[in-house]
A and B are shown apart, each in its own frame.
Chain A
Amino acid sequence: MTEFAQQLLNGLALGSIYALIALGYTMVYGVLRFINFAHSDVLMLGAFAAFYLAAATPHMAAATPLLHAGMVVLGAALICAVLGALIERLAYRPLRDRPRITVLITAIGVSLLIEYTCQHPAVFGAATRSFPQLFPQHNLTLGGLTLSSNDLAVLGITALLLALLWFVVQKTKLGVAMRAVAFNPQAASLMGVDVGRIISVTFALGSALAAVAGIAYALRAPGIEPLMGVQPGIKAFIAAVLGGIGNLPGAVLGGLLLGLIETFAGGLKQLSNYRDAIAFALLIIILILRPAGLLGREQPEKV
Chain B
Amino acid sequence: MDGVTLRFGGLMALAGLDLRVEEGEILGLIGPNGAGTTSAFNLVTGVYAPGEGDIRLAGQSTVGLLPHELASRGIARTFQNIRLFGSLSVLDNVRVAVASRQHGGFWNALWRGRAFHAGERAAEVEAMDLLSLFGLERQSATLASGLPYGDQRRLELARAPALRPRLLLLDAPAAGMNPTEKAALAELIRFIRQKFQLAVLLVEHDMPVVMGLCERIVVLDHGVKIAEGTPAQVRVHPQVIEAYLGAEPAHA
Contacts and interface: CB of A to CB of B under 8 A. Distances in A.
Contacts of B47: 186, 190
Contacts of A204: 106
Given A171-B120, A190-B68, 19 more contacts: A173-B95, A173-B98, A173-B105, A173-B120, A173-B123, A174-B105, A174-B106, A176-B96, A177-B99, A177-B100, A179-B88, A179-B92, A189-B67, A190-B45, A190-B71, A191-B71, A191-B100, A193-B96, A194-B68
A174 B87 contact: no
6 contacts: A173-B120, A174-B105, A174-B109, A180-B88, A183-B85, A183-B86
A172 interface: yes
A187 interface: yes
A289 to B, nearest CB: 24
A96 to B, nearest CB: 12
B159 A191 contact: yes
A177 B85 CA distance: 10
B82 to A, nearest CB: 10
Interface in B48-105: 66-68, 71-72, 76-77, 79, 83-88, 92-93, 95-102, 105
A197 interface: yes
A182 B72 CA distance: 20
A199 B175 CA distance: 34
Given A176-B92, A176-B95, A180-B96, A195 B109 contact: no
Given A172-B120, A180-B85, A188 B96 contact: yes
A192 interface: yes
Which residue, of B45, B72, B95, has the highest number of chain A Cβ atoms within 10 A? B95
Secondary structure dominating the interface of B = helix
Contacts of B76: 190-191
Nearest to B71: A192
Contact of B68 (A172, A182, A189, A201): A189
B6 to A, nearest CB: 18
A168 interface: yes
A168 to B, nearest CB: 6
B79 A193 contact: no
Interface residues of B, number: 34
A192 B70 CA distance: 7
Contacts of B163: 191-192
Q: How large is the interface on A (under 10, 10 to 19, 20 to 34, 35 or more residues)?
A: 20 to 34
Interface of B: 45, 47, 66-68, 71-72, 76-77, 79, 83-88, 92-93, 95-102, 105-106, 109, 119-120, 123, 159, 163
A2 interface: no
A256 to B, nearest CB: 23
Secondary structure dominating the interface of A = helix
A183 B84 CA distance: 9
A190 B71 CA distance: 6
Contact of B87 (A183, A191, A193, A201): A183
Contacts of B85: 179-180, 183-184, 187-188
B124 to A, nearest CB: 9
Nearest to B102: A173
Nearest to B45: A190
B109 A168 contact: yes
A197 B105 contact: yes
Contact of B88 (A174, A176, A193, A194): A176
A184 B100 contact: no
Contacts of A172: 109, 120
A189 B119 contact: no
A189 B83 contact: no
Contact of A192 (B68, B88, B106): B68
Interface in A137-188: 168, 171-174, 176-177, 179-180, 182-184, 186-188
Contacts of B79: 187
A183 to B, nearest CB: 4
Contacts of A171: 120
Contacts of A176: 88, 92, 95-96, 99
Interface in A17-38: none
A196 to B, nearest CB: 8
Which residue, of A171, A177, A180, has the highest number of chain B Cβ atoms within 10 A? A180
